[in-house]
Amino acid sequence: AQKVTQAQTEISVVEKEDVTLDCVYETRDTTYYLFWYKQPPSGELVFLIRRNSFDEQNEISGRYSWNFQKSTSSFNFTITASQVVDSAVYFCALGGSGTYKYIFGTGTRLKVLA
């Protein structure tokens, strides 16, 4: 069975702090894809990143970075020097090989306080 766990329901940080959002997944597929989406207070879902299971290179995009580790089935997301605009709910999702469907985690609400 496929499953995505985001154990952190809500995180509060003060502006400029670094914060890491955890994502742990379960799958029997050997090829799979992992995604992060951001849902700001306005409600839309914004695509952030897609990673495939055979590329464990970490990725950095501006203040965002992602740490993918197959050995621990984790795909964690770090925001460096957080800003108030980063306040949102962040979802991790898993997509299997040959399917069209995502399995979403329950989301982590990040509050960045000024």
Partner 1 sequence: NAGVTQTPKFRVLKTGQSMTLLCAQDMNHEYMYWYRQDPGMGLRLIHYSVGEGTTAKGEVPDGYNVSRLKKQNFLLGLESAAPSQTSVYFCASSPPSRRYTDTQYFGPGTRLTVL
What DSSP string describes the chain? --EEE---SEEEEETT--EEE--EEE---SSEEEEEEEE-TT---EEEEEEETT----EEETTEEEEEEGGGTEEEEEESS--GGG-EEEEEEEEETT---EEE---EEEEEE-
* Residue 58, number of CB atoms within 10 A of its CB: 12
Counting contacts by CB under 8 A, is residue 28 touching partner 1?
Answer: no
Residue among 41 and 114 whose Cβ is closer to partner 1: 41
CA–CA separation, 99 vs 93, rounded Å?
Answer: 13
- By CB under 8 A, residue 99 contacts partner 1: yes
- Where does this chain touch partner 1 (CB under 8 A) — which range of 15-23, 32-40, 59-67, 79-87? 32-40
**Contact string (CB under 8 A) for partner 1, positions 48-87, x = contact:** --x-x-----------------------------------
Minimum CB distance to partner 1 smaller for 32 or for 66 = 32
Smallest distance from partner 1 to CB 113, Å: 22
- Point out which residues bind partner 1 (CB under 8 A): 4, 9, 31-33, 35, 37, 43-45, 47, 50, 52, 91, 95-102, 104-107
